[in-house]
Amino acid sequence: MTASPPRQAGVPYLHNLTCVRGIAAWFVVFYHIRSSMPWIPERLHLLFAKGYLAVDFFFLLSGFVIYLSSHRSIAEQGRSAILPFLGRRLARIYPLYAVMLLLTMAFAALLATTGREPPGYPWGELPLHILLMQNWGFTPALSWNHPAWSISTEMAAYLLFPLLILGTPITRASRPALLAGMAGLLALMGWWLSSAGLHNLGQYIVQYGLVRCLFEFATGALLCAFWLQGKEGGQRNALLGAGLIAALAGTFWAIRPEAELWAFPALMAALLFLLAEHSRRNEARARTPSLPMRALIYLGEISYATYLSHFMLFTWFKIALVHHSGDIRPWKIGVFLLLVLTASIALYHLVEKPGKKLFTRWFTRKAAAGRYYADPPVVTENSPS
């Protein structure tokens, strides 16, 4: 178990959010393997079939924690803080992303040399994947490492985040205004997707995945601004309101499944607020996480590796060990899950962390040479991406 990263003064490390990030990543894993497990109970199968919703949770969470860690430097330093911010985000997501893309390219090249060229690896689209632009509306279908589509849309959100801080009154808006802004964003997203013919958030990812990300990321940022205005011990009304919103959104979604387009993000936003406040209160009481909690925190810390590696690992696993992909024996599923966990740990420690340090060191040297303005790096980021 690794220690939590050091924290910048005034920026809390929200353990609860790290925990749910790990749980959400494994929800995506089971979403992608559910059709290979016909022996699981029907209710569990239906639950895993909703695994795509974990990505919408990630978008909300990402907006929340990016605002928490980076809004102050951009608001205070203006345009000079944009390049350092983008540098930190690239250092966070690109090293592991690049390694998984290279491994997928090697796999596609191997298929080509054996006379098999499946349509899921179009070489002509590769530049878009290298530039993290593959899900910006330029391609007709998901390709290469499919889960990376959300990383592409997150990159778009990062590029627009400074505009949200510098071009809107988010940092100085009142709580009622922020609440109205969140409601407006989710209502507009729901109307947009419903008008396009969507009945759930998992449809038409290539066409509307970017829409989901930008609206939910912005909602997460507004939620963090709202949360930061609350005082320790003085959040009772907000907590009651969040609980009420969660109950209403969940009930409406249960009655009308098509309401998922707005009700699920509303439900998750309320949950995020409750979890963030719970973490803040525990930190104020200087509570040390229990052993199970530390295990969940660690799953959250390696969740980016879990999310980005599991899809291709399942492809390779089926080629190597599976004869009938529609019905994989339980023990083989257990082996695969252990493989994903092991690979996540290895990629986190051998690729993600050293890659981030290497990129940050390179950027710091450029800044020291006077090429860029760089503010002190923020190391406390529970980003899901």
Cβ–Cβ under 8 Å, residues 83 and 377: no
pLDDT of res. 243? 75
Q: List the structure tokens of 125.
A: 């689209």
Confidence at 130, pLDDT banded by 50, 70, 90: very high
Q: How far apart are CA 302 and CA 300, in angstroms?
A: 5
Over residues 5-52, the pLDDT tens digits come to 334 445 556 778 888 999 999 999 999 999 999 999 999 999 999 999
Q: What percent of the chain stands above pLDDT 70?
A: 86
Q: Is 18 inside any structural domain?
A: no
DSSP string, 246-274: HHHHHHHHHH-GGGHHHHHHHHHHHHHHH
Over residues 242-272, the pLDDT tens digits come to 777 777 777 777 778 888 888 899 888 988 9
Mention every residue, 6+ apart, whose C-beta is less than 8 A from residue 27. Answer: 48, 51, 53, 54
- Name the DSSP class of 288: P
CA distances from 87 to 46, 81, 155, 159, 374 (A): 40, 10, 12, 11, 9
Q: Is 62 inside any structural domain?
A: yes
CA distances from 175 to 64, 132, 143, 248, 309 (A): 15, 35, 42, 20, 39
Over residues 156-205, the pLDDT tens digits come to 999 999 999 999 999 899 988 998 999 999 999 999 999 999 999 999 99
Q: Is 382 inside any structural domain?
A: no
DSSP string, 187-218: HHHHHHHHHTT-SSTTS-HHHHHHHHHHHHHH
- Name the DSSP class of 166: H
Nearest 5°: the CA angle 222, 224, 227 is 110
Backbone angles phi, psi at 37, to 5 degrees: -125, 65
pTM across the whole model: 0.88
Count of helices and strands (H, E) across the chain: 14, 0
Cβ–Cβ under 8 Å, residues 219 and 269: yes
Backbone angle region of 289, left / alpha / beta, with phi > 0 → left and psi within -120 to 50 → alpha: beta
Q: How far apart are CA 266 and CA 142, in angstroms?
A: 27
Q: Is 99 inside any structural domain?
A: yes
Q: Which of 23-27, 224-228, 272-276 has the lowest mean pLDDT?
A: 272-276
Q: List the structure tokens of 162.
A: 């400074």
Q: Is 71 inside any structural domain?
A: yes
Q: Kindly tell me if the per-residue pLDDT of 287 is higher than 70.
A: no
Confidence at 2, pLDDT banded by 50, 70, 90: very low
Backbone angles phi, psi at 324, to 5 degrees: -130, 100
What's the chain's average pLDDT? 85
Mention every residue, 6+ apart, whose C-beta is less than 8 A from residue 55. Answer: 28, 150, 212
pLDDT of res. 375? 43
Number of domains in the chain: 1
pLDDT of res. 127? 95
pLDDT of res. 204? 93
Q: Kindly tell me if the per-residue pLDDT of 285 is higher than 70.
A: no
Q: Is 147 inside any structural domain?
A: yes
Q: How far apart are CA 308 and CA 27, in angstroms?
A: 13
Residue 94 lies in domain: 27-368
Residue 181 amino acid letter: G
Q: Is 361 inside any structural domain?
A: yes
Q: How far apart are CA 102 and CA 145, in angstroms?
A: 10
Over residues 86-102, the pLDDT tens digits come to 989 999 999 999 999 99
Q: Is 12 inside any structural domain?
A: no
